A and B are shown apart, each in its own frame.
Chain A
Amino acid sequence: MTWLWSNLDLVWLRTLDHIVLSLPPILLSFVFALPLGWLANRYRPTRGAILSIAGLFYAIPSLPLLFILPVIIGTSLRSPANLIAALTLYGLALMVRVVADGLASVDPDVRQSATAVGFSAWSRFWLVELPLAGPVLLAGVRVVAVSTVSLATVGAVIGAKSLGSLFTDGFQRGIQVEIITGIVATVLLALVLDGAVVLLGRVLMPWTRRTRRIRPAPAAVLGPMPVVRSVA
C-alpha cells in the first residue's frame, strides 16, 4: 500500500489522461451515430445494412485496429488521436443501433401531430423526435461511456498513457498494488461517468421524472344522463 500513498499524484495524472482519452470518443460516437441512426430508421432498406456494418465494427479486435487505423486515416500509432479514433468506432458500433431504435420508439401519433401543426422535417427531428428518443439514447450513452472507459486501458499497450499504464507498469515491475489500483480506478471512473450521464439525462429530460398524478375519481359515473342530448 505504500506504493499507492507515495504515488497518489501519478494515479491522479493517469486518471486525467484517461478522461481525456475517454470523453471525446463518447461524444464523437454520439454525434456520428445521429445521422447514421437517422438514416437507418428513415429508410427501411438501409436499416439492415447500416446496422449490420456498424455492429461488425465491434467485432474487430482492438490491437489490430490500432495498428490498421494509422494506415487508413494517417494517425500516428502512439498518438492519443489513434486511440480516440478506435474508441469512437467501437462507440459508433453500439450507438448507431441505439439511435435507430430510439427514433423508432417515438410515438407515431406524436410525430404525425407535430407535422400536422407545422413542424418542418428538420425542426421536427431536433425539437420532437430527438428529445423523445432521449431515454433510449441515454441508456445507450451509458453503455458506451462505461465500455469506452474500460476499452481505453488498451491504449497502454501502444503507449497512450491512461489508467491502463498502471497495469502494464505494475506487471513489468511486479508491483501488485499498482495493478489493483489501475483496475479499481478504472471501475470507479466508469461509475462516475455513468453517474454523470444519468444526471445529465435528468437535467435535459425533466418530463421523464414527473409521474402521473393520481386523478380524483369521477363524482357520479352512473349519474342520470339525458336520453336525448339534442335532436338538432
Chain B
Amino acid sequence: MIEFRSVTKEFPDGTLAVDDFSLTVPSHRTTVLVGSSGSGKTTLLRMINRMVDPTSGTIEIDGVSVASLEPVKLRRSIGYVMQNSGLLPHRTVVDNVATVPLLRGVPRRTARADALRLLDTVGLDRAIADRYPSQLSGGQQQRVGVARGLAVDPNILLMDEPFGAVDPIVRAELQQELIRLQHELGKTVVFVTHDIDEAFLLGDQIAILREGGRIAQLGTPAEILANPADDFVASFVGADRGKRALHVESQDGSDVLVDSDGRPAGVLVGQRSGAGPSGGARSDVPHIVPTEGPPR
C-alpha cells in the first residue's frame, strides 16, 4: 500500500506542480493517475521512488516513509517503466533486463538466466536477447522495458505513460499483455497516462487529476462513468460528447449498442454475464462485445 499524505511539490521556479495531494494506492491493484499535461501526474509518480522529493507532506510504502529510505536502494526495489522504453542503447536486450539485478549484486550467470525467462513472460522471443534496443521495434522495446521493470520481482511497478509512443495497434496489444501479466502477478501498479480509454481499460482505481494534482474524482471506472463528479470529469471522460452515452437498438433480434453518433459500439449479451476477474465493481456493468466498427 502506498499512501500520499498532504503532498505538495513546488519547483524552484515557483511552479506548484502538486498541491496538498492525498491518496491511498491499494496493494495488488492497478491505480491509474490520469490527467492532461500540467496535472502533476508524473511528478506524483516520481515521488514514490524519490526521483522527486516533495516540498511538504509524506509518502509511505507499507507504513514506512520513503524519505527515510536511501533513494538508490529504494529505486532498485521498485520496477519503473517509462515512455520510449528508457533502455540502455549500449546494452543488449538480455543485459538491459538484467541491469538492476546486476546492480544489486546478483551473479551475472543467474541474472542473465532470469532475464531470459522474463523475456518469455512478456511474450518476447529469446532470439532477440542479443540484439541492441535500436534493432527492435517500438513495441518490442516497450516489452523489454516491462521485463526490466519486473526483473527484481518488485512489489511495486511504476509506469509512466509506457505505451504513449507506440502506434495504436501495438498499444492495444501491449495493454492486453499488461492486463494478462497483472492478472498473473498482482503487482501494486501505479500507471500514469493522459489517455482516459487506457485508464478505464487498465485501472482498478482511477484518479482523474486537474491542474496541480488536485483530484477531480477518484473511483472505479464504473463509478466515474456512472456519476461524473463535475463538468470537468464529464468532459474528460467524454460523457458530454455522447461518446460514452450508448443506447440499445434492436437489430435482427439482438440488442446492438449504439453511440450518440449512431455508430454501433457493441452487442448487449446480458446484464450479468458472470463475475469479471476482479469481481466486485466490474461485474455489474453490462458485458459488451465489441463489434467491428469502421476504422477510426
Chain A interface (Cβ within 8 Å of chain B)? 107, 109-110, 112-120, 123, 128, 131-132, 134, 205, 207, 210-213, 215, 218, 221-232
Contact = CB atoms under 8 A, between A and B. Distances in A.
29 contacts: A109-B84, A113-B80, A115-B75, A116-B46, A116-B51, A117-B76, A117-B86, A118-B75, A118-B104, A119-B103, A120-B72, A207-B90, A210-B134, A212-B135, A215-B137, A218-B167, A222-B295, A224-B292, A226-B290, A227-B259, A227-B265, A228-B246, A228-B266, A228-B288, A229-B172, A229-B197, A231-B221, A231-B288, A232-B225
A231 B282 CA distance: 10
B1 to A, nearest CB: 21
B153 to A, nearest CB: 14
Nearest to A208: B90
Majority DSSP secondary structure for residues of A touching B: loop
A106 B165 CA distance: 20
A111 to B, nearest CB: 10
A121 to B, nearest CB: 9
B31 interface: no
B99 interface: yes
B188 interface: no
A118 B172 contact: no
Name the 4 nearest CB pairs between A and B, nearest first. Answer: A113-B86, A226-B290, A227-B293, A118-B76
B99 A117 contact: yes
B100 interface: yes
Contact of B295 (A116, A212, A223): A223
Contacts of B135: 210-213
A110 B88 contact: yes
B192 to A, nearest CB: 13
Nearest to A106: B89
Contact of B291 (A128, A223, A227): A227
Contacts of A205: 90
Interface string B277-296: 00001100100101111111
B80 A117 contact: yes
Interface in B208-237: 220-222, 225
Contacts, number: 127
Contacts of A109: 82, 84, 86
Contact of A228 (B82, B84, B100, B265): B265
Interface of B: 46, 49, 51, 72-73, 75-76, 80, 82, 84, 86-91, 99-100, 103-104, 131-132, 134-135, 137, 148, 167-169, 172, 197, 200-201, 220-222, 225, 244, 246, 257, 259, 263-266, 281-282, 285, 288, 290-296
Contacts of A134: 90
A6 to B, nearest CB: 51
A117 B75 contact: yes
A123 B102 CA distance: 12
B82 A232 contact: no
Given A118-B100, A212-B134, A225 B76 contact: no
A213 B140 CA distance: 13
A114 B96 CA distance: 11
A112 B93 CA distance: 19
A128 B293 CA distance: 47
Nearest to A223: B295
Contacts of A131: 90
Nearest to A212: B134
Given A117-B99, A120-B72, A229 B290 contact: yes
Given A110-B88, A116-B75, A212-B135, A227 B296 contact: yes
